[in-house]
Structures are given as structure tokens and as C-alpha cells.
Chain A
Amino acid sequence: MSTSNPTFPLNAWYVAAWDAEVGRTLLARTICNKEMVFYRRLNGTPVALADACWHRLLPLSVGRLEGDEVVCGYHGLKFNDAGRCTHMPSQETLNPSACVHSFPVVERHRFVWVWPGDPSKADPALIPDLGWFDDPAWAGDGRMTEVAADYRLVIDNLMDLTHETYVHASSIGNEALAEAPFEPSHGERTATITRWVLNEEAPAFWAAQLNKPGPVDRWQYIHFLAPATIVLDVGVAPAGTGAPEGDRSEGVSMWVVHIPTPSTEKSCYYFWCHLRNYRVGEQGLTRRIMEAAVGILREDEDVIEAQQRAIDKNPGRDFNNLNIDAGSLWARRRINDMIVKENPQQIPAVSVE
């Protein structure tokens, strides 16, 4: 895999932080190789500025907030929330060139989204619709984990849940899952994998959620939205109660949101959250699911980071693909489409086609 070609588009909305992570302190994050500093204005709305003072490049994130402005921690230059310099030491005027880039930023669905690319193209309507976050019928919580790997390896992992059988054997995986047929499909910006496991025993995690005896029908709809959003529509219902035909009322459902935001070519911020539509008032259950998820995702992260290290040790080698990789290959194609669109003369880092 080459790192000289882009592995992510810049003209896209990326989750930079959970809403709760951005406040009246300066938060430094590197999104798509761009160093940014995040904070909230006094009125509560988020700001994202380039995290390097115009003057001598000290990260603004080591400075301090003063009202809606950032004061550089070195010579006291001040920048407003649009990145314009408003104060320079020892002179009566302001240098008209003095500014830092202000990145388009939007708070939506409990996340702070940032647009690292051409600001004129930053249309908030392009933010993925994660409306469950705003819907009282759904409850849940999640975290962010820094993963030392290409964000596309996280996407590969999610686009093929066959791995659950081997990586998560004690919780959500079983033999039946790995052997069940699946159906890949795609659209202009999306890739989808659909899989049903009918009339089989539920794995431990799901058996506990359903808390009903007997075999289950289990579904997995994996929806990828380029460049980095995956939502899983997953659940189980007692076998034969009509879930495959559309009646999930006897079962339990989850929307699991996974967003690995590229930080660099070889690291990402992995945001995830499990939302459920049953026992929504139980904070204890929210906590237990989240703690279970921490353990499950730790298993994924260990595999993905080890995979990245192996890729680095095998320069010039590419993946071999199996039939089960259709989902990840469609997802990578949709990512490549976006990269090609903004770099018409460059070849994206297509590792597999």
C-alpha cells in the first residue's frame, strides 16, 4: 500500500468529537492530516481553527480561550472564531495577512462534524442522517477510541461481520453466522451487506438482550456511507415470529453507529455507539452494553492494529480477496470515487480492485 496517494477525501464531513468533548477548553485533534483546535463560543456553538499560530506556528491549542477568541500561548496574538487575527503585540495595526484557517463545523446527532477540504463545498445537508440519536425511542451511549491503523481497515472489519465468529466468539459470534449467506449491494455513496441467520441458537450477548428461550432469527444490515460512516441495523427475534418478513415486534433491535475518522494515513479516531429500542429508560443497561462493547471493540482494535503493523512490514504486498470481502471492496470503491473526484489527476491508493 502506498501512502503517497490520498487514502481519504478531504471534501467530506468527518466526526471530530463527541459533543461532550468540545467545551470551553481547547481540544487538539488531527483530522485528515490537518491539525485543528476545537472549542465552543460563549453562545455554545463549536469552532474549528487550524492549530498553528500564523506567526511562529505554536499550536494554538496550548494557548488559552478569551471569550470567543484564542490567545496564542507564545506572543499573545489573538484570533477570532473566524481565524482572523485581532491583536498583535507592539504595533498599532494588524497585519492584513494574519489569519488561521477556519474549518466549517456543524454540531449534529451528538457529534461535532468538521469539513477538512474546500470550505465552499461544505454543505451541511451532506452530513449522514443519524436521526436515532435525536429520537426518544432510541437510547444508548458510546465512546471514541484512537486506533493506530488506516481507517479503511476499520471499515473492512465492519463490512464483513463473518469475523465475529472468530474475533468475538465469546459474545456475538458463532459458527452459524460465518456460514450464513449474505448479499452485497451498493449505490452512489453507499455499500450494504445484508445477512439473515434463521432458526439458530443466539450467541451469548444477544441471548441476554432478548431474554427469551429458544432459537432465534438474527439479522445484520451493514450500511456504509462514504467516506467513513457505518451503521449496523442488527437484532434477534424468536425464530418464526416474522422478523424476516418485517415484523420485529417480538425481538430486540440495535442501531450500532461506527465512524472511524481518519487522523493520518495510519491512525484514526474510532467513534462508536450502540442504540437500542428496548428498555430505553434503563441507564444501567446502557452502561452494561457500552462496557460489553468496549471489550468487543478492543478485540477488533487488537486485530486491526496488528494488521496495520503487518502491512507496514510487508511493503509492496497487497491483499488477496475472498468472496466475503465484497462489502469492503464496494466501500473502498465509494471512497475512491470521492478521492478521484477531488483529485482528477491523481490515482487514489487503491489497494484492491
Chain B
Amino acid sequence: MRNLSVWHEAQVIGIQNITPTVREIHLQPAAMESAQPGSHINVKVMIDDRPDHRSYSVVRQLDNGGLVIAVKQLPDSRGGSRYMWTLEPGARVSVTPAACDFELSYGAPEYLLIAGGIGITPIFAMARALASRGEKVRMLYAARSREELAYAEELRALLDDSVQLFTDADGTHMDIAAEIENLHPKGELYICGPLGLMEAVRGQWRAQGREPAGLHYETFGSSGRHPSGPFTVKVPRLGLEVNVPKDRSILDVLTEAGVEVLSDCRRGECGLCAMDVTSINGEIDHRDVFFSEEQHSENKQLCTCVSRLVSGSIAVDPAWKGDPELRK
């Protein structure tokens, strides 16, 4: 169940760089709240003078009720992280109360936690909660390089040998198939990370015949198989052609051009923004989790909030078909 976006003010009470590209921002919201592991807050951001909002997982809660989020500076960002990195202590931002779409269920016989890159933020909170209850937990955590492994020391202290760290630089890789095989049949897997890692885990989970409900994941809606680049979208029915820059979504650009598109989650989960694809000159980088793998390979539709073209152009058909003549 989702709570309505009730915005209130929060003050930045601390900033701390924890890796060269990840920064903790400590916020003191005006209203007291408690944030369970896996919860997030929305923060109002300004992107090229346009107001927008972004979701950030709550890493932990301070003793005084404050909330800690961690923001990765991304070169490919849609602008949210750039804004967040401009915040200084004392700055005021609008936030929503912590809400949880990635809830941790207690009482499973075993837990496997997997984090990739900045996906560590909700997973770290879960690791702490599970460790403090003495639950059986194993964690896998990958990042580009050792210095980008945020919270590695804390995790070692918390989980000891039950956490395994991987880096691209060291050429170490998770053996996802073996890890899932070794997980208790009623065990649960929680993953947050880039799309490629999530798809690999989801694929293995399915291939091993596991219950779909035992796999919990959260998407950021911003990573794909390819880096983001500019491309062109045509809407033949409306005689429209627009360029989508690398830091904007098809949904936003079409909406700005006057094409009505429904949307809700804006992270590739709900499927409301899906549009029919009528021709492709290039390759679609599907970044949603709404369509199945098979539907992705058919390329008949795409989620315009997150999915992109690697380059080239695409033609789409919107829901606008004109008003029907009911009495001819």
C-alpha cells in the first residue's frame, strides 16, 4: 500500500563521503518517523531548473530520529544525483515520510542478500536488522573497485565470514547459481543492484524452480545493459519526431511534446507507460521489470519511463486514437 506524498521539510545535518563517488547525506525531518529496513524517502530535486523528485533508500536511522541516505554520483545520471551532491549542511529539502516497497520478512530459515554498487543502501539496512536478530544470513556484495565498496568494514564486523565481497577490478564474480542452490528451500533472497545482476539472479531463481515470492528485489529504474545515449523517437500517428537526450526519458520528452502518456511508478514496474513499438532502427535497451524476458525479446512494446534505445530511432504508437464516432 502506498502512502500519499505528504511533503515536509528536512534539514541537511551532515554530509560524509564514504567512497570517492558515494556520499552520505544526513537529514533531520521535521516530523518524527521510524524507517524499517528497505524503506525509502522521496526528495524534491531541481534538474535544469525543473522540479522533480527522486527516491533514496534509508541506510540507517540516527538516534535522534534523523535519516541517513547515500547518493552515488553518476555520470549518466538523469540529474538527481548531481543536485543531491550540491547540498551543503544546513540546506533544507522537501521529503516524504519513509515508506517501504521492499519489505523484509522475518522468520525465514535463511537469508541471501545480494547488493551491486549503490544497491547496497537498502541491503545494508537489511543486513544490520537480520544480524541483530541473529538470523542466518549470507551476503554477496559487488562493486567496480575496492574503494567503491561502501560499508565494507561495517559489513565485515556485522557478518564476519558470511559476507563475500567482489570487485570488477579484481576480476572476482559471484557464483549465483551455486549460491541459490545452497540456499535453504524456504530461504529468501533480497537483491538490489544494476539490471544485469538482477536479471541474472531472477533468471537463476526461475531456472531452479524457486517460488517467485521468495525473491525480493528493488529496481532503481535507471540502469540498463548499455550506457545511456541520445536517440530519436517518432510518433507517426501525430507526425511528431523528438530527440531524447541521454539524461531524459522517452516518457518525459513525449509528455513535454504534448503526447499524453499514462505513468505511475516511473521505475519500470507497473507497466502503465508502456507503448506499442511500430518500427525500430537500432536496439532497445529494456530496463523495466514489467515485461517478461520473452516480451522483451519480441520488442512489441516498451516501458517509456525507463527503457531506451542504444542509438538510432524508434517509432511508437500512443494511446491517442481520436474520439470514436458512436452513431454513424
Interface residues of A (CB under 8 A from B): 50, 52, 54, 57, 80, 82-86, 91-97, 99-102, 104, 118-120, 122, 342-346
Q: How far is the CA of A95 from the CA of B219 in the complex (A)?
A: 10
Interface residues of B (CB under 8 A from A): 1, 32, 34, 36-37, 64-65, 101-107, 129, 132-133, 211-214, 216-219, 265, 269-271, 289-292, 294-295
Interface centre among B132, B219, B289 (most CB of A within 10 A): B289
Q: How far is the CA of A143 from the CA of B104 in the complex (A)?
A: 35
**What are the residues of chain B within 8 A of A342 when measuring CB–CB?**
34
Partner of B1 from A54, A91, A102 at Cβ < 8 Å: A54
A172 to chain B, nearest CB (A): 43
Interface pair A344/B65, CB less than 8 Å apart: yes
Q: How far is the CA of A84 from the CA of B107 in the complex (A)?
A: 14
Q: Which residue of B lies closest to A54 (CB)?
A: B1
Interface pair B213/A92, CB less than 8 Å apart: no
25 A-B pairs with CB atoms under 8 Å apart are A83-B103, A83-B105, A84-B105, A84-B214, A84-B216, A86-B211, A86-B213, A91-B271, A92-B295, A93-B290, A95-B265, A95-B270, A96-B101, A96-B102, A96-B216, A96-B218, A97-B269, A104-B107, A118-B36, A119-B106, A120-B36, A343-B32, A344-B64, A344-B65, A346-B32
**What are the residues of chain B within 8 A of A84 when measuring CB–CB?**
105, 213-214, 216
Q: How far is the CA of A99 from the CA of B212 in the complex (A)?
A: 13
Interface pair B32/A345, CB less than 8 Å apart: yes
A94 to chain B, nearest CB (A): 6
Q: How far is the CA of A92 from the CA of B297 in the complex (A)?
A: 14
Q: How far is the CA of A222 from the CA of B36 in the complex (A)?
A: 37
Q: How far is the CA of A259 from the CA of B321 in the complex (A)?
A: 62
A21 to chain B, nearest CB (A): 23
Interface pair A52/B1, CB less than 8 Å apart: yes
**What are the residues of chain B within 8 A of A345 when measuring CB–CB?**
32, 65
If A95-B290, A97-B102, A102-B105 touch, does A80 touch B1 (CB 8 Å cutoff)? no
4 cross-chain pairs, A with B, having the tightest CB-CB distances, nearest first: A97-B101, A84-B213, A92-B292, A345-B32
If A57-B1, A120-B106, A120-B133 touch, does A94 touch B32 (CB 8 Å cutoff)? no
Interface pair B213/A93, CB less than 8 Å apart: no
Interface pair B213/A80, CB less than 8 Å apart: yes
Known pairs A50-B1, A84-B216, A346-B32. 19 more at Cβ < 8 A?
A54-B1, A82-B213, A83-B103, A84-B105, A86-B211, A91-B271, A92-B295, A93-B291, A95-B290, A96-B101, A96-B217, A97-B265, A99-B101, A104-B107, A119-B36, A120-B129, A120-B132, A120-B133, A344-B32
Q: How far is the CA of A94 from the CA of B65 in the complex (A)?
A: 34
Q: How far is the CA of A96 from the CA of B220 in the complex (A)?
A: 12
A319 to chain B, nearest CB (A): 28
B259 to chain A, nearest CB (A): 23
Partner of A118 from B34, B64, B269 at Cβ < 8 Å: B34
Q: How far is the CA of A83 from the CA of B214 in the complex (A)?
A: 11
Partner of B219 from A96, A118, A120, A346 at Cβ < 8 Å: A96
**What are the residues of chain B within 8 A of A50 when measuring CB–CB?**
1
Q: How far is the CA of A93 from the CA of B64 in the complex (A)?
A: 40
**What are the residues of chain A within 8 A of B291 when measuring CB–CB?**
92-93
Q: How far is the CA of A54 from the CA of B32 in the complex (A)?
A: 25
Q: Which residue of B lies closest to A342 (CB)?
A: B34
